């Protein structure tokens, strides 16, 4: 049902922008917006929607989009080539993909953050202190963000789906029929999109364009369960540090983006191979003020995202701001297994209609 409210199915070619307005018998309205990743990233999408809403409501907007990203990162012509049919790249092997929204309430997030927080290093133990410094870890690690805590938790669920954790029930009969599962445990890794506004001084908050990097975590060997969450959070932080401390931010070297893209494509090819040894997922945080978009009839009742391809998680703040709505996009077969995982339902609630 949710995909019917969006104007365009995701493809690599085609339109750059699409808008669909749906009217319901109850009097409600849904506005679906598609903005191609060729020209924009999630912060740009938020800027577009907020500016548009402000103009629709009052005739003008104090929010002024900035179109100078090319002066900071000039266009790159020698991008890695794509192969195969455009639709197959987005939905490989003709598989049907399904979007499901799971809500993490504030109390559950607090529990996950506590599980994900790294234990304090013993300052009186020189050996441990030296090891911590070698990893560039702080003595008293800061709390993980709620997005990282949720992403680390979902990582444990994905690992269990691949035979790398305790499922809590016997799903072995389903595994052989799952194109993304393997009869033997597989390594899992996460792509953590990083939006570089605020990291590169000359890129302001409302700069339009695609200013996103896609660093990969190291592959994590199974078994992965809740006790591994601090290590998973640190793996995601390491991926982000490679952007913060690398040439992309320090030298504004667009070539770093190409290297990350090539690594991502290579990992994707392995992950989409039914005989592969790697599970790859993307965990994206959309912590942007979409709920401030007022077209003249008040704030949105619910903001939701649909995934462009399989194995993607998009985390948005709930309307209250203290929870997370995670849109999980998987193949149809993987979705059935994912939503049956007992550990998942201890912390997340499926959302069918957030307006009830």
Q: Token pair of 274, please?
A: 């039914």
Measure the CA–CA gap between 180 and 217, rounded to whole angstroms. 19
Residue 168 within any structural domain of the chain: yes
Neighbours of 9 (CB within 10 A): 14
Residue 163 within any structural domain of the chain: yes
The pLDDT score that the predictor gives to residue 167 is: 40
Residue 57 within any structural domain of the chain: yes
Residue 276 within any structural domain of the chain: yes
CA angle 235, 175, 191 (to 5 degrees): 20
Measure the CA–CA gap between 316 and 125, rounded to whole angstroms. 40
Residue 213 within any structural domain of the chain: yes
Alpha-carbon dihedral sign for residues 155, 157, 163, 164: positive
The pLDDT score that the predictor gives to residue 259 is: 83
Residue 132 within any structural domain of the chain: yes
If phi > 0 it is left, if psi is from -120 to 50 it is alpha, else beta; for residue 148 that is alpha
The pLDDT score that the predictor gives to residue 281 is: 92
Q: Buried b vs exposed e over 99-135: b needs ≥16 C-beta within 10 Å?
A: bbbbebbeebbebbbebbbbeebeeeeeeeeeebeee
The pLDDT score that the predictor gives to residue 115 is: 95
Element (H, E) at 206: none
Q: Token pair of 103, please?
A: 């809500």
Residue 161 within any structural domain of the chain: yes
CATH of the domain at 260: 3.30.559.10
Element (H, E) at 117: none
Burial grade of 227 (CB within 10 A; 0-12, 13-18, 19 or more): exposed
The pLDDT score that the predictor gives to residue 88 is: 43
Q: How far is Cα of residue 90 from the mean position of the Cα atoms in its chain? A: 16
Question: Which domain covers residue 101, as residue numbers?
Answer: 2-351
Residue 356 within any structural domain of the chain: no
The pLDDT score that the predictor gives to residue 48 is: 96
CA dihedral 308, 317, 241, 272 (to 10 degrees): -20
Whole-structure pTM value: 0.83
Q: What is the pLDDT along the chain (356 residues), one digit of tens a residue?
A: 778 888 876 555 678 899 999 999 999 999 999 998 888 999 999 999 999 999 999 999 888 899 988 888 877 776 666 554 444 445 555 568 899 999 999 999 999 999 999 765 555 555 655 555 555 444 345 789 999 999 999 999 998 887 655 443 333 333 333 344 444 556 889 999 999 888 887 788 899 998 888 899 998 887 788 999 999 999 999 999 988 888 777 777 777 877 888 888 888 877 766 555 678 899 999 999 999 999 999 999 999 998 878 899 999 999 999 999 999 999 888 999 999 999 999 999 999 876 65
How many structural domains does the chain have?
Answer: 1
Q: Which of 152, 81, 140, 169 is nearest to 115 (CA)?
A: 152
CA dihedral 335, 339, 341, 345 (to 10 degrees): 160
């Amino acid at each position: 049902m949710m995909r019917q409210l969006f104007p365009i199915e995701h493809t690599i070619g085609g339109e750059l922008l699409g808008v669909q307005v749906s009217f319901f018998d109850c009097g409600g309205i849904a506005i679906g917006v598609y903005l191609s990743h060729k020209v924009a990233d999630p912060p740009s999408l938020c800027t577009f929607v907020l500016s548009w809403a402000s103009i629709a409501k009052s005739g003008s907007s104090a929010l002024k989009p900035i179109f100078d990203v090319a002066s900071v990162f000039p266009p790159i012509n020698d991008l890695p080539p794509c192969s195969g049919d455009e639709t197959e790249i987005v939905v490989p092997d003709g598989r049907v993909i399904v979007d499901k929204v799971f809500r993490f309430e504030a109390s559950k997030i607090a529990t996950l953050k506590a599980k994900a927080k790294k234990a304090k290093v013993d300052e009186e133990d020189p050996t441990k202190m030296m090891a911590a410094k070698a990893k560039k870890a702080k003595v008293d690690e800061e709390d993980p963000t709620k997005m990282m805590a949720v992403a680390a938790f979902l990582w444990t669920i994905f690992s269990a789906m691949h035979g790398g954790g305790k499922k809590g029930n016997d799903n072995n009969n389903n595994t052989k029929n799952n194109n993304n599962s393997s009869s033997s445990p597989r390594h899992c890794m996460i792509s953590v999109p990083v939006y570089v506004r605020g990291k590169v001084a000359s890129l302001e908050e409302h700069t339009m364009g695609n200013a996103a990097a896609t660093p990969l975590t190291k592959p994590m060997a199974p078994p992965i369960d809740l006790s591994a969450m601090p290590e998973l959070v640190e793996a995601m932080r390491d991926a982000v540090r490679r952007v913060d401390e690398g040439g992309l931010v320090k030298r504004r070297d667009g070539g770093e983006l190409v290297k990350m893209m090539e690594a991502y494509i290579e990992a994707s090819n392995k992950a989409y191979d039914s005989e592969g040894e790697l599970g790859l997922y993307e965990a994206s945080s959309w912590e942007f003020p979409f709920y401030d978009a007022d077209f003249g009839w008040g704030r949105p009742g619910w903001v939701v995202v649909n995934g462009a391809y399989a194995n993607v998680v998009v985390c948005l703040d709930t309307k209250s701001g203290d929870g997370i709505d995670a849109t999980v996009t998987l193949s149809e077969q993987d979705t059935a297994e994912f939503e049956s995982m007992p550990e998942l339902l201890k912390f997340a609630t499926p959302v069918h209609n957030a307006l009830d």
